[in-house]
Amino acid sequence: MGHLLSPQDERAAVRRHILYYLRGKDKGSLIGQGGIAQMAHRTPYTKGALVFYELARELGQGTLDRGLKRYFQRFRGSFATVKDLQRVLEKTSGRSLQTFFDNWIKGAALPFFTLVGKHCPPKKKVCTLTLRNHGDIPGHAHLLVQTNRRKLTKWIRVPAKKSVTLDVEGSQWNKVVLDPQGQMLHGVRWRATFARAYALRKEGSYQQAAAQYTKLLKAFPQHGRALYEMGRIKELGGKIDKAISYYKSASQQKRSAQTPGWIVPWSVFRQATLLYKQGKTARARQLLKALRKKALNYYNLHGRIDMTLQQWRSSR
């Protein structure tokens, strides 16, 4: 954190994180209005709050609590840095935390979990789950497994770039939720990856941009903007069939932070224009006419549709 903040701001931020953490411990979930996750988004290093959740998994809740209290007892009202916090926690736990602090404080990486396998036969009492960490550092994935009678919460440590399979006992499985409290701050990572890919695409570095979008889609296969951008790259590269496939996938996504409202109608529009180039004129006109009737006018979409249909009529 030191390379992002002045020493004074760093000390204040560390104290603020710890105070939020300690004050919230007896008040249920720390994720909520005004909680530590929201506070983290207001600091220059967004993953700061997550460090304490990960430390709790790494050291154990009791050890972390004792370490934080010792930190305050020793440095209250005096000069202190993140390195001081590391030393106190190392002394309390009796183990080195150098790798942890290198990964979580000095580095920009995050763990990046997805649930890649789920096998829960209705007549068996074991649900087999497979988790993948696409990130560059290890971390603890939070799973909520709900049956007809109870909810089970599990934390599973997954090494970087590895998968872990586990069996959870129970019956009549209703749902399995990864990261139920939204603690992993995946938004930080996908936004950074998308911004990097988008900048590469705009400057004409299509191959590098495609590599970034592909990486993003492995973790978020329903990322509408990434699908749309891959369609643009394939279209600009003359790979029409692949472009249509990406546009079609983008048009099928539900609206979300990763799929803003304009993505679906504009994906349909671009899909139609490529179908027309392939000679599938009837299907192309059908798509645009239906789109004109039901789609909102994002970025003058209606005008583009009207102009395109007029050009097609003129070229007959």
Distance from C-alpha of 267 to C-alpha of 243, rounded to nearest angstrom: 10
Please determine, for residue 312, whether its predicted confidence score (pLDDT) is greater than 70: yes
pLDDT at 229: 96
For the stretch 58-94, what's the b/e string if a residue is b when 16 or more beta carbons lie within 10 angstroms of its beta carbon?
bbeeebbbbbbeebeeebeeeebebebbbebbbebbe
For helices 186-202 and 206-219, angle between their N-to-C axes, nearest 10 degrees: 160
| Tally of CB atoms within 10 A around 268 | 23
Residue 93 — very low, low, confident or very high, per pLDDT cuts 50/70/90? very high
pLDDT in tens, 19-30: 655 555 444 333
Q: What angle do CA 49, 196, 36 make, to 5 degrees?
A: 10
pLDDT in tens, 254-289: 998 789 999 999 999 999 999 999 999 999 999 999
Residue 47 — very low, low, confident or very high, per pLDDT cuts 50/70/90? low
pLDDT at 6: 52
Distance from C-alpha of 36 to C-alpha of 49, rounded to nearest angstrom: 6
pLDDT mean over 195-211: 91
Residue 11 — very low, low, confident or very high, per pLDDT cuts 50/70/90? low
Residues 6+ positions from 258 with CB-CB distance below 8 Å: 190, 220, 222, 223, 224, 225, 226
Q: Which of 129, 117, 118, 189 is nearest to 154 (CA)?
A: 129
- Identify the H or E element spanning 161: none
Instruction: State both tokens at 25.
Output: 């411990």
pTM of the full structure: 0.54
Please determine, for residue 87, whether its predicted confidence score (pLDDT) is greater than 90: yes
Round the average pLDDT of the chain to a whole number and report it: 83
